[in-house]
Amino acid sequence: MATRAKKRERDEHVGQRLPTNPQRYNGNFPVFKQPKIIGHFSLSNAREYFPDARNLGYFVAPACDLDEIDGPSGALLSKPMELTFNADATTKKDELLDEGLKHLFRWISLNKSSFAVAGAEHQRPVPANFVCFRGLFTKILATPFEGPRSNPWLIAATKFRGTIYLDLRKTDEDVQAILDRTDVNEKFTRWGYKFEQFLFASETRFDVDASSCIERRFKLLKWWAQQFTVGIPFVHVGWRDGGGRVKRVQRLKTQTMHHQAREFWTPQTCFNFLLSFLRWVKDLVSEDDPRVVYSFRWDPGCPGRPVVCNRLSDPEASKMRVIPEWFVQDLLDQRKT
């Protein structure tokens, strides 16, 4: 009977679909509380984990007329930023490296006492509905307005002790896009990292605004989605020429960024879709078992462009496993103490 019940549950999750057309998600902006920082960790260039905020830097205001920086054309720099200067020495992450959620798991493991509630053994060890990286939310928020040439995305989900862990995986299309990058694409990427170096310092100097953030290359929707979800109020954009010289910098307010793109996307539609997606995931990911994996895939080439959910079976489930065994044992050992 138990085997039959499990098979019926698996069948119920085959091909479940969530529409993504933006018209379905118009309406008022849902309730969204200001994010709170509950801890830090840092990664070295070699992806070594450190349980502190050593990589947190200071934003250095660019040398320009700050009264003009918020204007539609930004502000002219008193001295151009030469992005080609020592650009080859910049270190960038290996984008083919798939680390999953291992750094989040390590932070949780080292900070379990932060979640403990005295006299409440029934409490979840991780008192959150979902655990994921910010980039996953960015993907979901942008989905209703993605174009037909966008890459598909794939999310693996597992529920364990009441919390759902969501891991954004690289699709074959993502890997191919990375492998197909030209030397020109790589050059632009290095210039982006160099732009960050110009505007960040490891210690305070000049005028500092630690709440600002520099982003690059992405369009307004991606900029907004990345910053709004974590409460960053500004984005600084550098306008460069073909030779890698930034002569003008503009500051965009995250809260009003969408005013420049009203004809193309709206924040309330993005967040209503995100809320619907998370509620849908919570309903479907019902088995509380670290070995059970659900996949959520969106493909712009699929008729109707829905997100499709499937409960995976071995060997695919083992290949897509989200939660490592050491973390499972870590939380189980906590329950025994």
Q: What is the mean pLDDT of residues 116-137?
A: 78
The partner residues of 297 in beta bridges, in order of sequence, read 154, 308
Give me the amino acid identity at 72: P
For the segment 214-264, what is each residue's pLDDT rounded down to a tens digit?
344 347 899 899 999 998 898 888 888 889 899 988 898 999 988 888 888
How, if at all, do strands 294-298 and 153-160 pair? antiparallel
Radius of gyration of the chain (CA): 22
Q: What percent of the chain is predicted at pLDDT more than 70?
A: 85
Give every CB contact of residue 320 below 8 A, 6+ residues apart in sequence: 156, 169, 293, 295, 312
Higher pLDDT, 168 or 242: 168
- Helix (H, G, I), strand (E, B), or coil: what is residue 264? coil
The partner residues of 94 in beta bridges, in order of sequence, read none
Q: Is 168 exposed, middle or buried, given 0-12, 13-18 or 19+ CB atoms closer than 10 A?
A: buried
pLDDT value for 137: 96
Q: Is the pLDDT assigned to residue 84 strictly greater than 50?
A: yes
For the segment 200-220, what is each residue's pLDDT rounded down to a tens digit?
766 544 333 433 433 443 478
The helix (H) or strand (E) run that includes residue 70 is: none
Tell me the pLDDT of the chain averaged across its residues. Answer: 85
What is this structure's pTM?
Answer: 0.86
Q: How far is CA 154 from CA 20, 226, 248, 273, 274, in A?
A: 15, 18, 37, 17, 15
Give every CB contact of residue 298 below 8 A, 6+ residues apart in sequence: 20, 143, 152, 153, 305, 306, 307, 308
Using DSSP, how many helices (H) and how many strands (E) does the chain show? 9, 14
CA 42 to chain CA centroid, Å, is 16
Confidence of residue 332 (pLDDT cuts 50, 70, 90): confident
What's the token pair of residue 172? 């074959």
How many domains, the chain?
Answer: 1
The helix (H) or strand (E) run that includes residue 58 is: strand 58-59
State which residues form the domain around 99.
2-336
Q: What is the mean pLDDT of residues 120-141?
A: 86
